[in-house]
Amino acid sequence: MTTEFATRYGFDRADVGLANWRQAPFSHWAFQNVAEVVPTAWRAAAVMKHEEPGADPAILTQSFTVQGQRASLADHLAASATDLFTIMRGGEFLADWSAPYADPARPHLVFSITKSLTALVAGALEAQGLLSPEDPVTRFVPEAAQSAFGNATLRHLLDMTVQLQFDEAYLDPDSPFARYRRAMLWNPGNDGENLRQFLCTIPGQDCAHGGSFRYRSPVSDMLGVVVERAGGARLADLLDRLIWQKIGAQGPLGLTVDAIGTPRAAGGGLLAARDLARVGEMMRQGGMAPGGRVLPEAWVRDTVENGDRGDWERGDFPELLPGGAYRNQWYRAASGWFGAIGIHGQWLAVDPASETVLVKFSSQAEPVDDDQDQRNIALFEAIFQHFS
């Protein structure tokens, strides 16, 4: 390994392929270069604009106690497989941190944070009268009539209460989840099935939709199909026009797609850490951004203040945020902060009380690490407390 690439990452580019790109250490490179592995649609602006350093980089040397361990913020980040980290407070960037192998100028895969971004587009289209949460899914996707989505509404999609016969078995190569990943071109072995076709084959449970939070990524991919048809444009273009241009985004925005261009609305977003922070700040400001109103204040308030706590408690992982809620594909903690979460350690956390927005992009080895999730949450809450 004598190339500059190998010196930086510890392996050769030829070592990374469709079969291993989400595995460490290959993910250290792949999570910022997904378009070299999976087909990707991009917004027009594909180059990061220069931005000034944060106003208070000294916060990175500030010590925080997390689960009994006291260390500087930078050391906490380095110990948790962090690639990029950004702090914003009161609308001003305070500090940015990056791992030696990470490049702040390149977009990072945010996995399921993409769900929350897709929901923002749904909110914008609702404001234009192009869809309603009470609409049946089949108004926009009639070919889903014989699937679990055949008697679901957009509200069921938005709040993740569709009762599917499907499990998020990330590591099972023989599960329907593996077939799902082949259809989206994230895994090798695609047999010609595209993502939309796969979605329309998922059966429902023998119970009504609603009543409990069931985290199933195909629900968000179906939402992506709905918003494209309601908005009359590709999801990447809708995100650009309705959200990115208005928040003053400075970097690229990409979205992985399948063989016929179906967007991976549940997990294929590629974006810069600072631009995600701008999304969080827009939500903190009730839907306002430098480019004007992005979303109705009532929609934002509903998203960050509502959600059925009972549905969350009866759902798949209430222990993640005890007393929390889930609304419009966004999470809310009992203590008042809200945000978006993706596997392998992707976080957007917004605390209205301290006017703070945090973004953490990571390449954790495991898709789900419950202990690390709790350490991340404890760190975020310590930072919020510091600024309160």
Go through the domains of the chain in sequence order and give each one's CATH number. Answer: 108-387 (3.40.710.10)
- What is the sign of the dihedral through the CA atoms of 240, 244, 248 and 253? negative
pLDDT for the residue 46? 55
The pLDDT tens digits for 290-311 are 889 999 999 999 999 999 999 9
Residue 164's pLDDT band, with cuts at 50, 70 and 90, is: very high
The burial class, CB within 10 Å (0-12 / 13-18 / 19+), for 261 is middle
Closest among 336, 388, 331 to 89, alpha carbons compared: 388
Closest among 375, 360, 320 to 113, alpha carbons compared: 360
The answer to whether the beta carbons of residues 158 and 306 sit under 8 Å apart is no
The pLDDT tens digits for 361-385 are 999 999 999 999 999 999 999 999 9
The answer to whether the beta carbons of residues 195 and 141 sit under 8 Å apart is no
Q: Where are the beta strands (DSSP E) in 212-368?
A: 253-256, 269-271, 288-289, 292-293, 325-327, 330-332, 338-342, 346-351, 356-362
Is residue 27 part of the annotated active site? The answer reads no
Hey, is 104 helix, strand or coil? coil
What is the percentage of the chain residues whose pLDDT exceeds 90?
92
Catalytic residue among 27, 80, 112, 147: 112
Distance CA 269, CA 55 (A): 28
Task: Please state the rounded mean pLDDT for residues 259-283.
Answer: 97
The pLDDT tens digits for 354-366 are 999 999 999 999 9
First to last CA, the chain: 48
Hey, is 376 helix, strand or coil? helix
pTM: 0.96
The answer, yes or no, to whether residue 53 has pLDDT greater than 90, is: no
pLDDT for the residue 44? 65
The answer, yes or no, to whether residue 129 has pLDDT greater than 90, is: yes
The answer, yes or no, to whether residue 104 has pLDDT greater than 80, is: yes
Query: What mean pLDDT value characterizes the chain?
Result: 95
Task: Please state the rounded mean pLDDT for residues 65-79.
Answer: 96
